[in-house]
Amino acid sequence: MRLGALVRKEFLLLTRDYHALAVLFLMPALFVLLMAFALAEVNQDRLPALSLELEIPQASEQSAFFTAALRQQLPDGHMPDVSDQPLPRVRLSADFAGQLLDAEQASLGLVFPAATDALTRQRLRAAVQVALAQTRLMTFLLDSGELDPDSTQDERLALITQRTAVRIDEQQQLASGALAQRANASQHSVPAWLIFGMFFVMLPMANGFQREQQSGVLLRLRCLGVSMGTLALSKLLPYLAINLLQFALLLAIGVWALPLLGLPGLQLPGSVAAYVLLAGCLALAACSLGLAIASLARSGEQALMLSGGINLILAAIGGIMVPRSVMPEAMARLAEISPMSWALDAFLALLVGQGSLSDVAPWCARLLLFAVVVGAAALFLFLKRLNDTQWTTHN
């Protein structure tokens, strides 16, 4: 009965603190959206469209077939007739049709502007090689009589595509490897800033504790015979619920809001139990650290400095602000000490590695051990702080 009333009191205080609500919900949501936009071009599943010029000195059915085959290899490619910008150029030889079956003759050439990046050069070379090979095969089949001279270009292209199709059995190794290097903008930004936002629960926990001690509320509760364990639970349970709400809300933003803004939506593969386990362990780790900060801080200023500073340090070294994939090796090893890094690795195992409950269990075990150790220390400090409470407005 008393615990329920105290929990309700904490919820009421929190709902009236608009600054705390903004820190817990609005700030991480804005970070998710802004960083998803900032990293929109990183590791995207769909490559950007490629623009190029195609120079055909003498039109023929072979050059027309080559053009169609090249468009098939670059379905999003753009071939403008006139462009103000220097573009990569595919230049067919003057006797393209006659040189196709002559291995000693170069039937086309590639011209790249100096600013062309390496990925564009590689993509265009691969596409041109495939289109040229298909055009040579079409010419050979046409010369040997295996291809109907009266067939349309679409029929020829369909036949050649079928003849040159390659089927590769590709298997994905789950929940292993350098997952951070393969994460797209949504798969990195949503879990990273979700974790950052959940750990910011330290700030309202510490501020609320300071207000109650300075106003004498804690001493009055002790005089009413409220046990210290009940007081500690009344501080933890509301913020555990807030953390779980943050987890669900920010995942929902990644799944449904990002696609509305033209960004890749977040897919949630794996079992629901894996996400529930991760949410619970992450919330326990964040709230146990929050209780420790609340017990250590002696003023509102100290609470702000400790909670904000520790959160920023853990995020900086844990791969939240800067992906671990771009960190130097020494810094990446240092990230292993941050609970935010453990939570992010668990998220990547689910979102990128398509892992299962057993794949995230080691990371959840680390978070749970962190919560137990820090929570035990926080409870000791909390009880000591309550025992030292006196009738005074100063700590």
Q: Map residue 291 onto helix, strand or coil.
A: helix
**Of 129, 164, 199, which residue constitutes the final position of a domain?**
164
Query: Structure tokens of 227?
Result: 């046990």
- Kindly state whether residue 235 falls inside one of the protein's structural domains: yes
Q: Map residue 108 onto helix, strand or coil.
A: strand
- Kindly state whether residue 295 falls inside one of the protein's structural domains: yes
204, 103: one domain: no
Alpha-helix residue ranges (DSSP H) falling in 117-201: 118-143, 153-164, 185-199
72, 15: one domain: no
Q: Give the angle 29-347-44 at the CA atoms, nearest 5°.
A: 75
Q: Map residue 91 onto helix, strand or coil.
A: strand
292, 338: one domain: yes
244, 117: one domain: no
340, 290: one domain: yes
Contact call for residues 289 and 199 (beta carbons, < 8 A): yes
- Kindly state whether residue 394 falls inside one of the protein's structural domains: no
- Kindly state whether residue 268 falls inside one of the protein's structural domains: yes
Taking the C-alpha atoms of residue 235 and residue 85, their distance in angstroms, rounded to an integer, is: 62
379, 266: one domain: yes
- Kindly state whether residue 277 falls inside one of the protein's structural domains: yes
**Of 139, 164, 189, which residue constitutes the final position of a domain?**
164
- Kindly state whether residue 175 falls inside one of the protein's structural domains: no
Query: Structure tokens of 322?
Result: 């800067």
Query: Structure tokens of 287?
Result: 């709230």
Whether the model pTM is above 0.75: no
317, 243: one domain: yes
243, 337: one domain: yes
- Kindly state whether residue 210 falls inside one of the protein's structural domains: yes
268, 383: one domain: yes
CA distances from 319 to 232, 276, 316, 332 (A): 31, 22, 6, 8
230, 369: one domain: yes
- Kindly state whether residue 307 falls inside one of the protein's structural domains: yes
What string of pLDDT tens digits covers the 395 residues of the chain? 678 888 888 888 788 888 888 888 999 999 888 888 877 665 555 666 788 899 888 888 888 999 999 999 988 888 887 777 888 999 998 888 888 877 767 688 899 998 888 888 998 999 999 999 999 888 888 888 888 888 888 888 888 888 888 777 665 555 555 676 677 778 888 999 999 999 999 988 888 888 887 777 777 777 777 777 788 888 889 999 999 999 999 999 999 998 888 888 898 988 899 999 999 999 999 999 999 998 898 887 888 899 889 999 999 999 888 878 778 888 888 888 999 999 999 998 898 888 889 989 999 999 999 999 999 999 898 888 777 765 444 44
Domain count, the chain: 2
368, 251: one domain: yes
**Of 164, 194, 228, which residue constitutes the final position of a domain?**
164
Question: Residue 220 carries which side chain, given as an amino acid letter?
Answer: R
243, 373: one domain: yes
Sheet holding 53-55, edge to edge: 53-55, 89-92, 108-111
Enclosing domain of residue 343? 2-43+181-387
